[in-house]
Amino acid sequence: MKVYIPLGIILIAFLYCSVPKNVLDDTPRVRSFKEWKADYFHHPIEVKIGWYPYEEEEIIKTGKHQYSIQKSDSSEIAGKMPVIILTYPDSTQSIYFGMDIDNELLGRLIKQSLMTQKPVTEPLAAFLEDADCSTCHPAEIEIK
């Protein structure tokens, strides 16, 4: 009988310590603001659209599935193409995206850059891995 009590205490302590906190405590967390005023701001990102002039190039078929591009003889501007530009006002870094970038990807890039204060760089997959929000958050805050 005397052996079971210490063994029971050790077992309960082990289970309590090994069970994730969120399983034991499901009390919701509530936060309120006394005033809607930030004490600190992260560095800004500017999002602009730039219109870049382009010339139409001539495509020449050189084989069954082969083509080459030949520079046009005239230096006439054929149109202007919009490009999304992210710039960081406190740095010399910027990055350009075509209008065909996925909306969700663009939003995620901007959000991760704002939250981690790291400029977006290519390759984008490496940036998203490096600027992972879990590196900044306390471990108890679930972000994904």
**What per-residue confidence (pLDDT) applies to 13?**
59
For 13-54, the pLDDT digits (tens) are 565 565 565 555 678 878 888 888 888 888 899 999 999 998
Q: Cα–Cα distances in Å, from 42 out to 5, 32, 127? A: 55, 21, 18
Q: Is the pLDDT of residue 108 over 90?
A: yes
Say if 81 falls within a structural domain: yes
> Which residues does 48 contact at the CB level (< 8 Å), separation at least 6?
84, 85, 87
Say if 107 falls within a structural domain: yes
* Mean pLDDT value of segment 55-68: 88
8 Å CB contact between 143 and 133? yes
**What per-residue confidence (pLDDT) applies to 35?**
87
Say if 23 falls within a structural domain: no
Say if 7 falls within a structural domain: no
Number of domains forming the structure of the chain: 1
**What per-residue confidence (pLDDT) applies to 30?**
82
Give the 3-state secondary structure of residue 73. Answer: coil
Q: Is the pLDDT of residue 94 over 70?
A: yes
**What per-residue confidence (pLDDT) applies to 17?**
61
Q: Is the pLDDT of residue 66 over 60?
A: yes
Residue ranges making up the domain that contains 87: 35-135
**What per-residue confidence (pLDDT) applies to 84?**
97
pTM above 0.75, yes or no: no
Tokens of 11: 């077992």
Q: Which helix (H) or strand (E) holds 143?
A: none
Say if 143 falls within a structural domain: no
Residue 106's pLDDT band, with cuts at 50, 70 and 90, is very high
Q: Between these two residues, 78 and 106, which has the higher pLDDT value?
A: 106
**What per-residue confidence (pLDDT) applies to 38?**
86
* Mean pLDDT value of segment 132-137: 69
> Which residues does 68 contact at the CB level (< 8 Å), separation at least 6?
59, 60, 62
Say if 77 falls within a structural domain: yes
